[in-house]
A and B are shown apart, each in its own frame.
Chain A
Amino acid sequence: MKPIQIELVQQWLDKFTNQTVYIHVETTNGAYASHLDEKAYNVGAYVRNVQITYNQAKIVGEGNAYRIGLKTSNGWIYAEGLTDWTIHEGSKILLAGHDREGRLMVALQISETPFDY
C-alpha cells in the first residue's frame, strides 16, 4: 500500500457511487491487547462482503490520516484513521490505517465483486 492520494481516492469512490458494491470495514487493536497490558481492552469489529449502495462519498483529512463517509439512502458507512491505499486485482479499492509498527488499525474496502471468503 502507499500513502493516500486524496484526489485519486476520491475518483475511485465516485466510480462506485450508485452501484451495488461489497464492503469490508474493520477496526482492531489486536487479540492480545489485554494480555500484553492488563489495563487495555480488546476491541474490534468487522463487516465483510455486505452489499450496499451509496449515493455520495467523500474523503476528508489533513496530514497523513483521512476519514471517509459513504452516504446511503438510509444511513452511513464511516471510517477514521486511514493512511494508506492500493488497488487490488485492478478493481477493488483497499484503504487502511497503520500504526508506527505497520499494524493495521482500521480498514475500509470497496469492490463490485465479493472479497475472497
Chain B
Amino acid sequence: MEKHVVVILPHPDDESFGAAGTIAEFRSQGIPVTYLCGTLGEMGRNMGNPPFANRETLPEIRKQELKNACDVLDMDLQMLGYRDKTIEFEDRTEVANHLQRILEDVKPSLVITHYPGYAVHPDHNALGAAAIQAVEQMEEDHRPVVWAQAFARGFQEKLGNPDVINDVEAYFETKMEAILCHQSQAGGIIGKLKDYKELGAEVLQEAKTRFGKEVFFIWKFQ
C-alpha cells in the first residue's frame, strides 16, 4: 500500500480530468494525497460560458476553483507559483530542484505526473520532465515510484500499453463533482457535462467510458 501520493500537474483542473478517480481511490484507503499545482492557469482562454472572468480576475477565480476541487477530493494543496504557458521556458533544473525539496519533505511513495513529450500541452510536458528529473536527482533508495500520464494522439503506438489501468467508475460521481468545481472552464467540455445527471443513459455511458479509466505508465529510471 502507498504511504503518501504526490500529484504534480501544471493547471487547476488537470488533477480532476486526469487523476480524480485515482486520487479518490487512494483517499478512500486513507492514503494522504498532496497536489503540487504548477500554475493558476492564468492564461486560460475559457472565461466561463457566458464569460464571468477576465484575464485579470481569472487567476483568483481558478485558485478558488482549485481549492474547491481539492476539498471534494480531500487532498492537500501546494501551489508552486509558476505562470501558465511559461514552465517550458524556466530553467529545468531549477524547477526540478524546487520539486525535489518538496518531495524530500513530503517523502511520497508515489508521484503522479504527465509523461514528458506525450501530454499535449507544453506546460504538461515541461512540468512532467522536471518532476521526473527531481525524482532522478534523489538517492535511489529514497525515490518514489513515478506514474506518468500520456494522452497525445497515438501515444499507445509509441509507448505501448499503459502499465497501470485504473478502473475508477466507482468514483465517477466524485470525479464529476471535482471536474465541475472548475466552473470558469465551462466553455469547453465542462459546459457539456454541467447537467450530467440529467443526461441520457447513452451520453452518461460515453462520459463514463471517457472518464471511467485513468491510465499511467510506470517510469523506468536508467
Query: Quick one: which of B177-204 are within 8 Å of A by CB?
Result: 186-188, 191
9 A-B contacts (beta carbon < 8 Å): A28-B45, A29-B45, A31-B122, A32-B120, A32-B121, A46-B43, A102-B186, A104-B55, A107-B55
CA of A91 to CA of B130, assembled, Å: 39
Contact of B54 among A35, A96, A105 (CB under 8 A): A96
Main secondary structure of the interface of B (DSSP, over half): loop
A101 at interface by CB-CB < 8 Å: yes
Are B152 and A102 touching (Cβ within 8 A)?
no
Given contacts A88-B56, A109-B55, whether A104 and B45 have CB atoms under 8 Å apart is yes
- Residues from chain A with a CB closer than 8 A to the CB of B46 are 101-104
- Which residues of the other chain, B, contact A46 by a CB distance below 8 angstroms? 43
Residue pairs across A and B with CB atoms within 8 Å: the count is: 66
* Beyond known contacts A28-B45, A31-B120, A104-B46: 11 more, CB 8 A cutoff: A1-B51, A1-B54, A28-B43, A29-B45, A31-B121, A32-B121, A35-B120, A86-B54, A102-B46, A102-B47, A104-B45
Residues from chain B with Cβ under 8 Å of A92 in the complex: 56
Count chain A residues whose beta carbon lies closer than 8 angstroms to a beta carbon of B. Answer: 29
Residues 114-141 of chain B, each 1 if its beta carbon lies under 8 Å from chain A, else 0: 0000001111000000000000000000
Q: B191 to chain A: which residues have CB within 8 Å?
A: 101
Chain A min CB distance to B33 (Å): 26
B153 within 8 Å of A (CB atoms): yes
Residues from chain B with Cβ under 8 Å of A71 in the complex: none
Chain A residue at smallest Cβ distance from B55: A107
**Closest B residue to A105 using CB positions:** B45
Chain A residues contacting B47 (CB-CB under 8 Å) are 96, 98, 102-104
Instruction: Please tell me if the beta carbons of B152 and A35 are within 8 angstroms of each other in the complex.
Output: yes
Of all A-B residue pairs in the complex, the 7 with the closest CB atoms, nearest first, are A102-B49, A102-B51, A101-B187, A104-B45, A103-B45, A31-B121, A103-B187
Report B-chain residues with C-beta under 8 Å of the C-beta of A117. 83
List chain B residues, Cβ under 8 A from A38. Answer: 153
Residue of A nearest to B56 (CB): A88
Contact B55 A26 (CB under 8 A): yes
CB <8 Å contact, B54 and A94 = yes
Interface 1/0s, chain B 73-87, versus A by CB < 8 A? 000000000010100
In the bound assembly, the distance between CA atoms of A9 and B205 in angstroms comes to 48
B59 touches A (CB below 8 Å): yes
Residues facing A in B1-41 (CB within 8 A) are none
Instruction: State the CA gap A117–B43 with chains docked (Å).
Output: 12
